[in-house]
Amino acid sequence: MPDAQSIEIAGVAIGRPHPCYVIAEIGINHHGDEGLCAEMISAAAAAGANAVKLQTVTPHESYHPDTESFRAFKDSVLNEAALARLMAQAKSEGVALFSTPGDPTALDMLVRLEMPAIKISSGLLTNIPLIERASASGRPLILSTGMAEAREVADAVGSARAAGCTALAVLQCTSLYPAPADALNLAAMATLTELAAAPVGYSDHHEGYVACLAAVAMGASLVEKHFTLNTDQAGADHAISLDPSDFAAMVRDLRSVEAMQGSAAKEPDPREAALRGGRHRFLVAARDLEAGERIGEADLYLMRLPDGRSALPARDLNKVVGRRASENVERLSGLAASDVEGIEDQ
């Protein structure tokens, strides 16, 4: 994936070549319990998350009362005072706390609280009025793109930019719960990078966390994964969430994958370079050679030499064959350039 501009959330740089930004998606797994949410924030921070994300809605504005969403959210609301306390706690524990606003009333509250970023969920990607309003707040914006066609992503990105958003990130996402492997389409991150000219990452609904590692290997600058204290709890998101132990394992493995990526330069690691002399093959006399003798291919081995010894490299075989030995060379001795007539002139 090509490099894109970087952004910052609460002072942390996001985008290549910076480390992947890891978001613990609490959503409404707190069930409206501030104490439980506080416990989850602490656990996510201890597990290595850079940020925790909630979902904030005004249920009667966001969902028709006959929907399952209304029933799920109506008892899972954290009020403004609670959110302020949780933000302060998160900051003290070294993580950013931000949220997805489901409606203008919720958005206005998040802006009043000066949350360090605004997340637009996949279900809100076509809600251009809300995106424009969030963009005008001046806060970094993260867009999830589940269910979206490229033109819809372009529309959302263009609307955000036009409304004043200068710090934007876009996440590949598949809005299935759980999302099967063949539906994840991680390769679309490259398309999103070109389309958005912004850091691109991945919001995961796949079981476990292998997809997050794959996304990082493919260049994701952000990863968002659902988080819970107990995957057996009732609620739509708990079953696809990671508990603190598994989340910590994900972060550990994710950082290992980052370390594996290295750079685009193809060159030996300095620790490898020291091994070259003992691993490569060299031109070695297969028999005693006398000065003036013409050297044939059968007179040479392509051989690994003991550490510390060197000779003409195996790639010089065709340069040496047919030339005369300028010195006596003992069997199993490596040929130096000075042992072969005319080699020093090559």
Task: Determine if residue 138 is left, alpha or beta; phi over 0 gives left, psi from -120 to 50 gives alpha, anything else beta.
Answer: left
Whether residue 63 is predicted with pLDDT greater than 80 in this model: the reply is yes
pLDDT value at position 264?
Answer: 86
Residues 6+ apart with CB under 8 A from 266: none
**Per-residue confidence at 291, pLDDT binned at 50, 70, 90?**
very high
Domain ranges of the chain: 7-261, 270-345
Whether residue 4 is predicted with pLDDT greater than 70 in this model: the reply is no
Structure tokens at 132: 């424009």
Distance CA 119, CA 124 (A): 10
Mean per-residue pLDDT of the chain: 94
Whether residue 345 is predicted with pLDDT greater than 70 in this model: the reply is no
3-state secondary structure the chain: CCCCCCEEECCEEECCCCCCEEEEEEECCCCCCHHHHHHHHHHHHHCCCCEEEEEECCHHHHCCCCCHHHHHHCCCCCCHHHHHHHHHHHHHCCCEEEEEECCHHHHHHHHHCCCCCEEECHHHCCCHHHHHHHHCCCCCEEEECCCCCHHHHHHHHHHHHHCCCCCEEEEEECCCCCCCHHHCCCCHHHHHHHHHCCCEEEEECCCCCHHHHHHHHCCCCEEEEEECCCCCCCCCCHHHCECHHHHHHHHHHHHHHHHHHCCCCCCCCHHHHCCHHHHCCEEEECCCECCCCECCHHHEEEECCCCCCCCCEHHHHHHHCCCEECCCECCCCECCHHHECCHHHC
Bond before 313 cis per omega within 30 degrees: no
Pick the CATH number of 270-345 from 3.40.50.80, 3.90.1210.10, 1.10.8.60, 3.10.180.10: 3.90.1210.10
Average pLDDT over residues 335-344: 92
pLDDT value at position 170?
Answer: 98
Whether residue 3 is predicted with pLDDT greater than 60 in this model: the reply is no
**Per-residue confidence at 275, pLDDT binned at 50, 70, 90?**
confident
Whether residue 29 is predicted with pLDDT greater than 60 in this model: the reply is yes
Q: At the fourth CATH level, which superfamily is domain 7-261?
A: Aldolase class I (3.20.20.70)
Query: What percentage of the chain carries pLDDT values higher than 90?
Result: 82
Whether residue 233 is predicted with pLDDT greater than 80 in this model: the reply is no
Whether residue 1 is predicted with pLDDT greater than 60 in this model: the reply is no
pLDDT value at position 236?
Answer: 63
For strands 200-204 and 222-226, give the pairing.
parallel
**Per-residue confidence at 235, pLDDT binned at 50, 70, 90?**
low
Q: Tell me which of 22-31, 43-52, 244-253, 294-303 is least confident.
A: 22-31
Whether residue 206 is predicted with pLDDT greater than 80 in this model: the reply is yes
Distance CA 65, CA 35 (A): 27
Whether residue 256 is predicted with pLDDT greater than 70 in this model: the reply is yes
